Structure 1
Amino acid sequence: MSPRHNGIRQCDRAALKAESNFVAGGTVLKLEVQILRRLAGRPHVPQLIHSGKKELYCYMVMTLLGDSLGSLQKKIGKVASVSTQTRVGINILFGVKQLHDIGFVHRDLKPANVAIGRPNTPDYRFLHILDFGLAREFVVIGENRKLQMRRPRPRALFREKKDISEMKKRTQHDILLKNSPIQLQILFEIINGPLHLQERPHSTKLQHERPIASYREG
């Protein structure tokens, strides 16, 4: 048996992610490392093995996963059976819950950022949420040293997919945990493919972009 580091044998294959220290706007790898450290031991997310910083770049090593859901969609087509769609949805939602439990929202959930486990491993049948470079913390420690919801910013830079959040981009509202059909749309796209909302006329889109609270029966 080979020696282990964080439960990973030295002979195991792993995934390496590196980023230049001179990226405009700053590197996001530090945030990903912070999130993966908090997610240590949790299912449906990759596990951090090692991280470090050199003169020209920073890097992290994490568990190697299999194909992304986006790649699988291209290889075998859309998911057809209801039972498979249900399992995909449960896996994704549980993975998102792991992130919410540590106080972060993902903000870039899409088929390319959901992957199955590596073949011939116990995780092969499960989906994993990855790529936390656009994530944002929504729970912070307040002045009383107690956890509290982070105050939304009055204006925020747009960080989501264009065809999913045109309304939020225009209003520039901060995005935390809100009741919104956007989460359902993301799940639909992950399972069935893009909705191509950008092809709809602008006037038609506006008719469907009223907040949920503005709809009343009758």
Structure 2
Amino acid sequence: MSDEEEEDVNFKAGVEISSSKASYTVVRLLGEGGFGAVYLVKDAKDKKYAMKVERKLEKRKHSKLKMEIAILKLVGTGKHFTKIVDRGKKDKEGFFFLVMELVGKSLADLKQDRVEKAFSFATGLGVASQCLEAVEELHKFGFIHRDLKPQNYACGLDDKKHLIYILDFGIARKYLNTKNELKTPRETVGFKVRIPGRAD
């Protein structure tokens, strides 16, 4: 079995995942990534959330989900960041999970939904402004995202539908040290091939 197969976390609709304070029922899969998977879940009152799940592996040096949790706790009430609702781990089943407020479609999906496959000039300016504002806010906390693309930005829901959220901090890294100084770059960096989504 390959590493990627070992990292898969697959839950069918109706499966219940409980923390120390609440129980969540899986509604459907929202997406999959290198960290594991994201599910639409609901609590006992039928309120819906997004749940990220990551398989626990002894050989993994850095948990992407733990990095996500650390950053979301750090940024607190920042308006461009999703709020943590709950989190936990299942030692017997071997996975971690993070429950967050639910957001809407990604910028990549919203652009594809348009007939012309592009935003208007005015919309584009507004979107760009909010995306940059979100990145700037993350930088103020001493972190760089390292995976910026339309798929990692999404609009909110209901009264927050005009607010853009920045998502997925699994490979983010701290660039400031404890003295608020730039950290010394690594002399050697691992090479990773990625095929990013187009931003035009």
- With the length of structure 1 as denominator, give the TM-score of the two structures: 0.64
List alignment gaps of at least 5 residues for structure 1.
164-185, 193-218
Is 1:38 aligned to 2:74, yes or no? yes
- After superposition, the CA RMSD in angstroms is 2.4
Hey, what does 2:65 align to over in structure 1? 29
Q: How far, CA to CA, are the matches of 2:79 and 2:193 in structure 1?
A: 25
CA contact (8 A) 2:65 2:170 kept: yes
- Amino acid of the structure 1 residue aligned with 2:95: Y
Matched ranges for 1:59-208 at <5 A: 59-76=97-114, 77-118=116-157, 120=158, 122-141=159-178, 146-158=179-191, 161-162=194-195, 189-190=198-199, 192=200
- 1:159–1:64: structure 2 CA closer, same or farther, 3 Å change rule? farther
The structure whose residues are more often helix, as a share, is 1
Q: How far, CA to CA, are the matches of 1:104 and 1:91 in structure 2?
A: 18
Compare CA radii of gyration and give the structure with the larger one. 1
- 1:10–1:158: structure 2 CA closer, same or farther, 3 Å change rule? farther
CA contact (8 A) 1:107 1:159 kept: no
Q: How far, CA to CA, are the matches of 2:72 and 2:58 in structure 1?
A: 21
> How many pairs does the alignment contain?
154
Q: How far, CA to CA, are the matches of 1:159 and 1:99 in structure 2?
A: 23
Partner SS, residue 49 of structure 1? strand
Please, which of 88, 93, 105 is the counterpart of residue 52 of structure 1? 88
Shift of 1:10: 7.7
Q: How far, CA to CA, are the matches of 2:134 and 2:194 in structure 1?
A: 20
- With the length of structure 2 as denominator, give the TM-score of the two structures: 0.69
Provide runs of 4+ in structure 1 moved above 3 Å. 9-12, 158-163
List alignment gaps of at least 5 residues for structure 2.
1-21, 23-42
The structure whose residues are more often strand, as a share, is 2
